[in-house]
Amino acid sequence: MTRPRRTPALIVAIFVVTLLSKAAETAPVRDPEGAARQYRIARRLVAEGSADAAAALAKVFDLDPAGPLADDALVEQALLLPVATWPGDLGRIAAPEALRAAALLDRAIDGFPGGDRASEARVLRAFLRLEPLLGRDPARARLDLLGVATGAVDERWRSSARFGIAWIDERSGERERARSAYQRLAIDGATTPAGDRSRARLARMLLRDGKPGRAAALIEENAEEGGERETLALRDLAVRSTLRQAGVGGRWTGGTAVTAPSGLKGVAAAARLRDGGLLLADRRTGAVIEIEADGKTGARFALDGVQALTEDSMGRRFAAAGERLYRLLPSGPVAVAELGAFSPASAMTADGWGRLYLLDRHGERIGVLEPGAPSPAALAGVAKAPRLTGLVWDGARLVSLDARAKGLVEVLADGSLRPIAAVPCERPEALAADPAGEVAVLDSKADEVLLLGPDGQVRDRVSIRAAGLPRADTIVLGADGSLDLQAEGGGTTARFP
């Protein structure tokens, strides 16, 4: 019989005590009750729109970093930045805030993978990857969303993820895949926000497919009566196209409304806005003026030498002026890129991802400006292109006009051109497009505007003189299909509703 050895036991005891004391030193202080109190305060501040809300939420996390409210604090901080909760909300967040939001959401995803906000965090994180910022990564976003769509318990975020996937597919040219997903959401979640949004996207696709009647009816079925201006404009366009298709109306010749905003002396560029408004650049006064949907004069930006204006599908407004590209923010114009070889630009448009395309003044070079890039890159293959006039994104294609060949061409991703249709006019000079894929062409010789369908067939025709204008240099199409004409050097806009 041997005596028990006491020395190893003592060593183990000392080791355990040391470990515990170390743990006590390093473990964060937890105050669950304090966090709960602070969360109530933070929620109130969020509801009030207080500037202190973010700090209050941060304190919730600090008080109990592993507690049940920690993931709520992280996700809600990100929402304040603001992170898009639907793809339609993209474009509102700036790069620094997007970085902070990504960090917050990553912490929520990694730190609380089984938490009740995990699916939401994953969806929001995926949408962040779709923001028109440097580092945009639709492929990664799609993978993240697939994970939520096929695995999440919460139907709300499963639906959001599915909608996000369809939205990406639609922009990636996977139209049938997108259509299936939208249709599934419209059936399975008929009365949900995802269902409404899916119907609106389906309507847009049907409109392009030449089924405007069904598109109009689909929008009408949405649960929310009224809805966003953009959706209502789409419905108007669908009804217009339906009537035109049936030959019972919907034409521009129905009437003209002429507006002459005060202080506007010479229009150099114009762009229609998603909310029904109009953006005009006045070269003589060196200003960009917003005309709101109801005709009132809205924001005014001081900016000289504007050659082109555009608003992308996310509502971001850009002006090409001199050698720079400016983003028009409520606080004023902010230079975001150098135009370089594409200055001065003769036309500018944006695709569904927020990429900007610029046509140089000779109509020979097309530049593409990726979100966040300092300057446009030339599309390969266009260097030897024929002289092009105008550049528009028709919702699915980048379209330009070969003035010499008198034909519409599609500018492909590799810069090559693909003829779409011949343009039956004498001197085609300007282009505009609507969400139905219709393209309006200004014929300066015949002083008329033609509306061509995606197949190149003439769907409408209107005389410039009918509007009381001697001539027109600029044409823009609204989301509702209405046509605006402006003459360079004049301050008048004629609208064919």
Partner 1 sequence: MKTQASIALVALAVSVCLMSPAVPRAEEPPPPTPARPSSPLDAIRDDLLALRFESALAAIDAMLRDPALPASTRLDALVLRSQAHAASGALDAAEQDYREVLDLDPAFEPDPAVASRKAIARFEKARADRVGMLRIDLDPSDATVLVDGRPARRLADGTLPALAGSRTLRLERKGFDPLERTIDVQPGHETPFVVRLVPNVRSIVVRTEPDGVLVSVDDQPSGETARPKSGAPDAPAQLEIDDLAPGEHAITLRKPCYRTVRHRRMITVDLMDHAPLAIETVALDPVRSRLKLMGSIEGGEVRVDGNPAGTLPIEPLELCPGPRDVEVRAGGRVVWWARVELPEEGGLEVEVRPRPNLARVVAEWPRALSPFAESFSAAPPLPLPPGADLSSTHGWEAVQLPGGTDLAVTVTPAPGGGPADRGALYSPILRTVERIEGTLPDPSRPAWLESSTGMKLADSSVWGKAVVVEVAPGGPAAAANISVGDRVLAVGSSAVDGSRQAAAALRDAAPGSEIEVHVAGPQGAPRAVRVRTAPTPVIPVRHDGARSPAVVAAWAAADGAVAGGAAPSALANLALLLSGAGRHDLAADVLRRIPWGERKGVGAGTGAYLLGRELEFQGLEADARTAFLRARASLSTAPDDDGLEVAPAAADHLADLGVAPEPAAQPTGR
d(CA 453, CA 395): 13
214 binds partner 1 (CB under 8 A): yes
DSSP state of 298: E
Strands (E), 37-98: none
Among 188, 323, 338, 370, indicate the residue that binds partner 1 (CB under 8 A).
Answer: 188
Q: How far is the CB of 246 from partner 1 (least distance, A)?
A: 4
In terms of Cβ atoms closer than 10 Å to its own Cβ (0-12, 13-18, 19+), residue 439 is: buried
Report 88-147 residues binding partner 1 (CB under 8 A): none
DSSP conformation letters of 208-254: HTT-HHHHHHHHHTSSSSS--HHHHHHHHHHHHHHHHHHTSS--GGG
Name which of 21 and 180 has its Cβ closer to partner 1.
Answer: 180
In terms of Cβ atoms closer than 10 Å to its own Cβ (0-12, 13-18, 19+), residue 177 is: middle
208 binds partner 1 (CB under 8 A): no
Largest CA distance in the chain: 119
Strand arrangement of the beta sheet that strand 458-463 belongs to: 428-433, 439-443, 448-452, 458-463
Structure tokens belonging to residue 89: 């909300």
Side-chain half-sphere of 283: how many Cα atoms within 13 Å? Answer: 17
Q: How far is the CB of 198 from partner 1 (least distance, A)?
A: 10
Q: How far is the CB of 164 from partner 1 (least distance, A)?
A: 14
Three-class SS state of 173: coil
For residue 391, what are the β-bridge partners?
Answer: 400
Q: Using CB under 8 A as the criterion, what x/- string covers residues 437-476 for binding partner 1?
A: ----------------------------------------
Structure tokens belonging to residue 7: 């020395």
Q: How far is the CB of 36 from partner 1 (least distance, A)?
A: 28
Among 236, 429, 434, 460, indicate the residue that binds partner 1 (CB under 8 A).
Answer: 236
Among 59, 86, 106, 183, indicate the residue that binds partner 1 (CB under 8 A).
Answer: 183
Q: How far is the CB of 186 from partner 1 (least distance, A)?
A: 6
87: which residues sit within 8 A by CB, 6+ positions away?
A: 127, 130, 163, 164, 167
Report 335-354 residues binding partner 1 (CB under 8 A): none
Name which of 293 and 373 has its Cβ closer to partner 1.
Answer: 293
Of 21-29, 121-129, 206-214, 374-382, which segment contacts partner 1 by CB under 8 A? 206-214
Q: How far is the CB of 430 from partner 1 (least distance, A)?
A: 23
Q: Using CB under 8 A as the criterion, what x/- string covers residues 37-76 for binding partner 1?
A: ----------------------------------------
Region for 315 from its dihedrals, namely left if φ exceeds 0, alpha if ψ lies in -120 to 50, beta otherwise = left
212 binds partner 1 (CB under 8 A): yes
Of 5-13, 69-77, 247-255, 380-388, which segment contacts partner 1 by CB under 8 A? 247-255
177 binds partner 1 (CB under 8 A): yes
Q: How far is the CB of 255 from partner 1 (least distance, A)?
A: 9
30: which residues sit within 8 A by CB, 6+ positions away?
A: 63, 64, 65, 66, 67
242 binds partner 1 (CB under 8 A): yes
Name which of 18 and 180 has its Cβ closer to partner 1.
Answer: 180
Among 248, 262, 330, 331, indicate the residue that binds partner 1 (CB under 8 A).
Answer: 248
In terms of Cβ atoms closer than 10 Å to its own Cβ (0-12, 13-18, 19+), residue 316 is: buried
Size of the site for partner 1 (CB under 8 A): 42
Q: What sections of 247-368 are H helices per DSSP?
A: none
Q: Which residues contact partner 1 by CB under 8 A?
A: 149-150, 176-177, 179-181, 183-184, 186-188, 190, 202, 209, 211-214, 216-220, 225, 232, 235-236, 238-240, 242-243, 245-246, 248-250, 254, 480, 482, 497
